Amino acid sequence: MELAEEGVPPVINLTEVAEREKEEFEEKVSKLIIEFGAENLMACMQCGACASICPLARTGFEWYNKKLIKAILVGMREELLDDMTPWACVACNRCTEICPRNVTPFEVMLAMRRLMVEDFALPTLTIEGLRSLYEHGHAVYMTGREARKKVGLPEKPPTTDSDEKALQELKTILKNTKLAELGLIPMG
């Protein structure tokens, strides 16, 4: 350690260091959320209009729109990564419709998912959905075709399910997106 005059160690102001790190950290989380699509994040004035009509807030999820935005604005990160609230968002966009500041709180939810994806903090079902999209062209896919037969439809729908060329097109598209960079699913 570098000694100051007469062997007295320099005073490190821990409060200042903490403040500085906090500021950098805050900037980082908010910046990422903005980069991931929530362009108007900083316009939020915490009025709570979004929370008043959010199905997640109503059913008791921890980090519903208003609270998530507040947490992001104060720079929280680890606590948010441990919570699956953003993955429960039904994307209903009531919040977007009602927000008086054009914050598009749904885009904040979605940006939070995108941030979580980079940390592999996503539900297994989501990975399964992505895998199914890549393998079959359908996020929801069923091999059983009794229902189709019962109502008088061909077993094979006119989708990627019955069209190999179309499925290959979709795979080519997906291989050229960020999904491939993330390596969340095998994309052979």
Partner 1 sequence: MVSEAMVSEAETVNENEEKKLKFGLFLGCNITFNRPDVEQAMRKIFPALGVELDDLAGQSCCPTWGTMPSIDDVGWCAVAARNLCLGEEKGIDLMTACNTCYASLNEARHKMLKNPEIMNGVNEILAKIGKKYEGKAKCRHVAWVLYKDIGLEKIRESIKYTLDGLTIAVQPGCHFLWPSEVYPDKEKDPFNPVVLRELCEALGAEAPYYTKLIDCCGIGALRSTDPEKSFALAKDKLECIKEELDADLIVAGCSSCTIQFDDVQEKLRKEGKINFSIPVLHYVQLLAICMGFDPQQVAGVCVTPRDEIIKRILEGGKR
Q: How far is the CB of 29 from partner 1 (least distance, A)?
A: 18
C-beta of 78 vs 164, nearer to partner 1: 164
Q: Please, which residue, 73 or 96, has the CB nearer to partner 1?
A: 96
* 47 or 167: CB nearest partner 1: 167
Phi-psi category of residue 114: left, alpha or beta, with phi > 0 → left and psi -120 to 50 → alpha: alpha
How far apart are the C-alpha atoms of 116 and 121, rounded to whole Å? 5
Instruction: State the DSSP code for 75.
Output: T
Closest approach of partner 1 to the CB of residue 150, in Å: 6
* Neighbouring residues of 109: CB distance < 8 A, sequence distance ≥ 6: 65, 68, 86, 89, 91
Q: Which is nearer to partner 1, 25 or 141 (CB)?
A: 141
Residues binding partner 1 (CB under 8 A): 36-37, 55-56, 58-61, 84, 87-94, 96-97, 104, 106, 110, 113-114, 117, 122-123, 125-126, 129-130, 133, 137-142, 147-148, 150-153, 157-161, 163, 165-167, 169-170, 172-174, 176-179, 182
- The residue with tokens 């979004």 is 50
Give, as one character, the DSSP assignment of residue 102: -
Residue 186: CB minimum distance to partner 1, A: 16
Who's near 167: CB < 8 A, 6+ residues apart?
136, 137, 160, 161
Least distance between partner 1 and beta carbon 163 (Å): 4
Least CB distance from residue 66 to partner 1, whole Å? Answer: 17
Residue 20 vs 149, nearer CB to partner 1: 149
Provide the token pair at 165.
């060329």
Q: Which three-class secondary structure state does DSSP give residue 56?
A: helix
